[in-house]
Amino acid sequence: MPFLPALVLSILGGLLTNLAFPYHSWWILAPLGLALLLSAIHRQRGGRAFLLGLSWGMAFFMPLLYFSFKAAGEWLPWIALAILQALFVAFFALGTSLVTTRLRRGGAVAAVLLWVAFEQLRGVIPFGGFPWGSIAFSQTEGPLLPLAALGGTVLVSGIVALFAVGIALLARLRPSGLVAVGTGIGIVIGGLLFPPSAEPEEGTLTVAVVQGDVPVRGAEALGQARQITQNYADIVEANAPWDADVMVWPESAADIDPRSNPDVAANVVRAQAAFDGPILLGTQRYVDGGRYNEYILWQEDGDTAAYAKQHPVPFGEYMPFRDFFRRLSPAVDRVSTDMFPGSEPAVMAVPTADRDVLLATPICFEIAYDGLVRESVTLGAEALIVPTNNASFGFTQESTQQLAISRFRAVEHARATIQVSTVGVSAVFLPDGEIVAQSGELYTEWHSVVELPLRSSQTIATSLGNAPQIIVWALAGLWLAVAIFRKDTA
């Protein structure tokens, strides 16, 4: 195919794949969009394949990550983040080109492995990675979701890539495309035959969920910290009594630390007294040279436990190489105080009348990181709480994209999951992914009381740990190495 039509095809493929994610969640477009990229790079040499992959990546990531522009108020961070993520697609396209032009067989399998390998690599490097936009997260409204419990993002992304390969082969009238599509359908049917259970194994936990909204919208909401905490206390008092074991507030519900500020503490104490039980809430703890983003347990005698976010967002919550990037844009100093990473896993013990219940508490973007969430479950977490602050992102799709990831994690680990946001979208998922409660429009107050089934068994995906990731990297690396040292057979 000439380069110009291939370029159009790759850009169209990236745009279609973006539509598989929220807002739209047209999940079937994910394999179609990826198939267009595979068709565009077919028989293209390395440099052209790289450019086509980069074009697909930019067409996909620019609209997907638009929320980063809304949060920063600057074009440069948005474009830079999109380019960085698109480079992984470009190297996937380059690798696929090498394999298909230098090896006579195995190109279809290699394409699947390479897609998953580079996607997993994107979740690890640089700066700890950014797995947002994993193609697996586009499938939460479709029949591939149950496969999350069998193999997590590696398996679900791999099946999407397998369908894409099959579609691309069928477009070239290759019978092997039927094999690829048929294999994918068989795996999906197998997953549907063994759905994850939503039944409680360790009893239930009744949770009050509060979304308190903010006085103003956008980044300016961060300057209203005292009023925000007061809003939560007012909501709790106005709706008392609450028949629940624990109450959860979102990230930054008390952006000024109640442990060091008496005025903010007074509102938290007022809420705790009205609720008459433990409250989990987000705050910031400032230390010399930086701060920690923490989720704390507040009881009648004050705070008794805290989890500090392990994976601060680079360029959003801390600024790497600040002096260098300041030369490119003064926007770096919008992050005036760098966030430090916590060192403990995202697990908190919450006391109830019968016993302490272990809850996983990944904060905001941490829900996108496979290993971080999996560690919490392997350490005994019986349900997931995802506190998040979406106030800076305006009416973008960031919150619903995050909601899809939370739903994926619920099924992957068979744990009831609550995403509780400052402004929405907040929701509650059963371990099989069913939605049992959800807030409506963004920037609204909302609250609900839900009964969560507590579970202790591990899914296959949880038990496998990072083994699928390592295997995919090893196989993809081996395939690439063989291709690099073979002469071109095209």
Q: Model confidence over 250-306: pLDDT tens digits?
A: 999 998 999 999 999 999 999 999 999 999 999 999 999 999 999 999 998 877 899
Do 365 and 478 lie in one domain? The reply is no
293, 341 Cβ separation under 8 angstroms: no
Residue 338 lies in domain: 204-457
Question: How would you classify the pairing of strands 204-211 and 246-248?
Answer: parallel
Please pick, among 119, 309, 317, 366, the residue that the annotation labels catalytic: 309
452, 416 Cβ separation under 8 angstroms: yes
Closest among 451, 489, 399 to 66, alpha carbons compared: 399
**Upper half-sphere CA count for residue 219 (Cβ side, 13 Å):** 11
Residue 489 inside a domain? The answer is: no
For the chain, the first-to-last Cα distance in angstroms comes to 15
pLDDT band of 223, cuts 50, 70, 90: low
What CATH code is carried by the domain that includes residue 332?
Answer: 3.60.110.10
Do 145 and 26 lie in one domain? The reply is yes
Closest among 283, 395, 294 to 346, alpha carbons compared: 294
Neighbour tally for 183: CB within 10 Å: 15
Do 49 and 85 lie in one domain? The reply is yes
Question: How would you classify the pairing of strands 279-287 and 246-248?
Answer: parallel
Residue 384 inside a domain? The answer is: yes
Do 394 and 286 lie in one domain? The reply is yes
**Upper half-sphere CA count for residue 476 (Cβ side, 13 Å):** 24
Catalytic site includes residue 344: no
Catalytic site includes residue 201: no
Give the three-class secondary structure for 287.
strand
pLDDT band of 351, cuts 50, 70, 90: very high
236, 269 Cβ separation under 8 angstroms: no
Do 36 and 156 lie in one domain? The reply is yes
* Confidence at residue 330, expressed as pLDDT on a 0 to 100 scale: 74
Do 220 and 125 lie in one domain? The reply is no
Residue 490 inside a domain? The answer is: no
* Confidence at residue 107, expressed as pLDDT on a 0 to 100 scale: 87
Residue 476 inside a domain? The answer is: yes
Interatomic CA distance for residues 288 and 396, integer angstroms? 34
Interatomic CA distance for residues 229 and 252, integer angstroms? 9
* Confidence at residue 490, expressed as pLDDT on a 0 to 100 scale: 47
Do 353 and 381 lie in one domain? The reply is yes
Please pick, among 251, 317, 382, 398, the residue that the annotation labels catalytic: 251
Domain count, the chain: 2
For residue 290, the Cα-to-chain-centroid distance in whole angstroms is 25
Catalytic site includes residue 251: yes
Percent of the chain clearing pLDDT 90 (strictly above): 82
Write the pLDDT tens digit of every residue in 16-34: 999 999 999 999 999 999 9
Number of helices followed by number of strands (H, E) in the chain: 15, 12
Please pick, among 119, 294, 317, 364, the residue that the annotation labels catalytic: 364
Question: How would you classify the pairing of strands 427-429 and 435-438?
Answer: antiparallel
Neighbour tally for 260: CB within 10 Å: 11
Do 89 and 238 lie in one domain? The reply is no
Closest among 122, 123, 35, 97 to 480, alpha carbons compared: 97
Do 446 and 363 lie in one domain? The reply is yes
Do 271 and 137 lie in one domain? The reply is no
Backbone CA torsion sign across 483, 153, 56, 313? negative
Write the pLDDT tens digit of every residue in 116-151: 999 999 999 999 999 999 999 999 999 999 999 999
Do 308 and 436 lie in one domain? The reply is yes
* Confidence at residue 105, expressed as pLDDT on a 0 to 100 scale: 80
Task: Find the helix packing angle between 3-18 and 29-41, rounded to 10°.
Answer: 160
Do 64 and 42 lie in one domain? The reply is yes
pLDDT band of 71, cuts 50, 70, 90: confident
159 pLDDT higher than 50: yes
Residue 95 inside a domain? The answer is: yes
* Confidence at residue 485, expressed as pLDDT on a 0 to 100 scale: 86
427 phi/psi in degrees, rounded to 5: -160, 165
For residue 34, the Cα-to-chain-centroid distance in whole angstroms is 20
Close Cβ partners of 137 (under 8 Å, ≥ 6 residues apart): 21, 153, 368, 401, 404, 405, 408
Residue 235 inside a domain? The answer is: yes
487 pLDDT higher than 70: no
